[in-house]
Amino acid sequence: MTEGPGSNGPGQRELLDRLRINRDEEDDEDNGGRWLVYTLVTVCAVLAVGALFVFWPRGAEPEVAAPDATATSDASLSAVSPSGSAASGGVLSASGYVTARRLATVSAEITGRVLEVFVEEGMAVKAGQVLARLDPSLARIDVDSAVAGVRTARGAVSAAENDVAEADRVLARIRGINSDFASKAENTRTEAAAKGAAARLVQARGNLSSAEQSLMRARTILDKHEIRAPFAGVVTTKDAQPGEIVSPSAAGGGFTRTGICTIVDMNSLEVEVEVNESFISRIKPEQKASATLDAYPEWEIPASVVAIIPTANRDKATVKVRVALGTRDPRILPEMAAKVLFYDDAKAAAVPAPAPAPQGSTK
């Protein structure tokens, strides 16, 4: 049974209004939730940025501010000794290599085939010692031929001397005869014969001298088939083997050598370093220094400045400095890397004594 329009209960329209969904209220509620999400996201982003700023690693940034030019130069000049203690009086450190002021690639003065090689790498040689020998077959033939030429020339000189003596005797006899028995023409012929004999003697003596020079040349060339050491030193490289062809200059082809071996005078070893031209004013000849080899970092070698090369490298902006080593030791080898610490002359007396040589050295 339904209620009429005049009843006190709710009507159909009111019931329908109650069942209808209000879209405006839902939109208001959705907008409020959306703004809440935006706010939370913004707060999280700010917190994340703050955490990154606080905890981000700073290894790539310098720990201190860059100093001015004066502080930079002073810092670059400070040095530490290989043992780790501060080097007293050090004004500059530089790196370089051990070099030899006296070394030679020994070669033959003539072209020839190597017959024997008497050296090996690491062998100590004396000045004038035979290092190798070339095939001397042709040179010996030339010497023998020159010897025969000298003998022939000496025979010609002896014959000319006899002719001169005979011509002089004839001339003396003619001149001693009375003019009634010796005509003037005969006297003239005798004088001409004597002069001709004397001229032939001069020629024979000249030929003898030329033959002796030829013999000397042939013997010198024969001696050149023995390659000798120009000075005492140590063989560092062996460049030729028996059977190869050597020549004083490249003659073309892959079988021609231009050297027998390389000799280094170990007493001429020194360190050559390159110093920035901005600091070269701190270096002067005979300045005290110490050198340290990379192979023996605990071994300090006393040194001193030999010379400053009077030219600069335009590309590197450096100047070469030669440093003499105060110690001769077989462990110091050419082309070894080394570091040199230069001392201030005013504090050179306070420089600590060099560290002892490493144990197990070979003398």
156, two tokens: 């010609």
Q: Domain range spanning residue 27? A: 12-51
Side-chain half-sphere of 103: how many Cα atoms within 13 Å? 19
Contact indicator for 129, 191 with CB cutoff of 8 Å: no
Instruction: Note whether 79 and 117 are same-domain residues.
Output: no
Q: Are strands 124-125 and 233-238 parallel, antiparallel or unpaired?
A: antiparallel
Neighbours of 188 (CB within 10 A): 11
355 within some domain? no
Mean pLDDT by 10 residues, the chain (363 residues): 48 64 55 70 78 59 40 37 44 91 90 92 93 94 94 92 87 70 72 88 92 94 93 92 83 66 93 93 92 93 93 92 92 93 68 52 44
Task: Return phi, psi of residue 342, to 5°.
Answer: -90, 140
Those residues whose C-beta lies under 8 Å from the C-beta of residue 111, and which sit 6 or more positions away, are: 245, 246, 247, 248, 251
Q: Which amino acid is at 143?
A: V
Instruction: Note whether 273 and 340 are same-domain residues.
Output: yes
**Plot region of 148 (φ>0 → left; ψ -120 to 50 → alpha; else → beta):** alpha
How far apart, in whole angstroms, are the C-alpha atoms of residue 106 and residue 123? 14
304, two tokens: 């001193």
What is the pLDDT at residue 188? 79
178, two tokens: 């009375």
How far apart, in whole angstroms, are the C-alpha atoms of residue 298 and residue 253? 49
Instruction: Note whether 240 and 130 are same-domain residues.
Output: yes
Structural domain count, the chain: 4
Of 265, 249, 262, 240, the C-alpha closest to 132 is: 240
What is the pLDDT at residue 39? 80
Instruction: Note whether 177 and 218 are same-domain residues.
Output: yes
Instruction: Note whether 296 and 152 are same-domain residues.
Output: no
Q: Name residue 234's beta-bridge partners.
A: 124, 264
Instruction: Note whether 201 and 145 are same-domain residues.
Output: yes
Side-chain half-sphere of 155: how many Cα atoms within 13 Å? 6
116, two tokens: 């024997």
Instruction: Note whether 165 and 304 are same-domain residues.
Output: no
**Could you tell me how many residues make up the chain?**
363
The label of the residue with tokens 């071996």 reads: 261
Instruction: Note whether 36 and 153 are same-domain residues.
Output: no
What is the pLDDT at residue 89? 56
Instruction: Note whether 161 and 25 are same-domain residues.
Output: no
285, two tokens: 């000849």
Instruction: Note whether 115 and 231 are same-domain residues.
Output: yes
